[in-house]
């Protein structure tokens, strides 16, 4: 398949979410929620393929990280290159180091009329994390 064909295939097999801007991979995902696809002779993560196809080749020492923190998102505008240290720092800054919230959770939290206590119990995270989401201190890109 040519690069042009891969671009079209990625776009055709993702669902574009207007509110968040994510392109959610609709085909196979691994147990961590990352999309996978055969590319250059081996199974690879779709967000890495998207970065490679739409932006530029990826140096071996770098990872492809998500601004949106959604593992199945392949929108090249949501992807950036960083080291493993950058990835860990990003998780801590966004309050994701201990939790597993995703974009759907964040939208629900922001739109919910439930108290921070109820939401923290529902999502098994701290009230501080809920308040940071509600007041756009974390996940501010959503």
Residues 55 and 119 in one domain: no
Cα–Cα nearest to 65, from 57, 20, 76: 76
Residue 98 has pLDDT above 70, yes or no: no
**pTM for this structure?**
0.68
Residues 22 and 62 in one domain: yes
Residues 129 and 78 in one domain: no
Number of domains in the chain: 2
pLDDT value, residue 97: 61
Residues 73 and 103 in one domain: no
Domain that holds residue 32: 3-91
Residues 12 and 78 in one domain: yes
Residues 8 and 58 in one domain: yes
DSSP strands (E only) in 4-132:
14-16, 23-25, 36-39, 42-45, 63-66, 79-82
For the stretch 37-78, pLDDT in tens is 999 899 999 999 999 999 999 999 999 999 988 899 999 999
Residues 16 and 62 in one domain: yes
């Amino acid at each position: 398949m040519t690069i042009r064909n891969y671009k079209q295939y990625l776009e055709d097999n993702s669902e574009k979410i207007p509110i968040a801007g994510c392109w959610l991979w609709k085909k196979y995902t691994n147990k961590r929620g990352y999309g996978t696809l055969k590319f250059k002779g081996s199974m690879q993560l779709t967000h890495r393929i998207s970065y490679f196809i739409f932006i530029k080749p990826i140096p071996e020492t770098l990872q492809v990280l998500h601004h949106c923190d959604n593992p199945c998102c392949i929108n090249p505008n949501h992807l950036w290159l960083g080291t493993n240290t950058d990835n860990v720092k990003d998780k801590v800054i966004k309050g994701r180091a201990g939790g597993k919230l995703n974009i759907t959770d964040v939208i629900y939290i922001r739109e919910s009329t439930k108290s921070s206590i109820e939401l923290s119990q529902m999502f098994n995270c701290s009230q501080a994390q809920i308040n940071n989401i509600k007041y756009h201190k974390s996940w501010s890109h959503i």
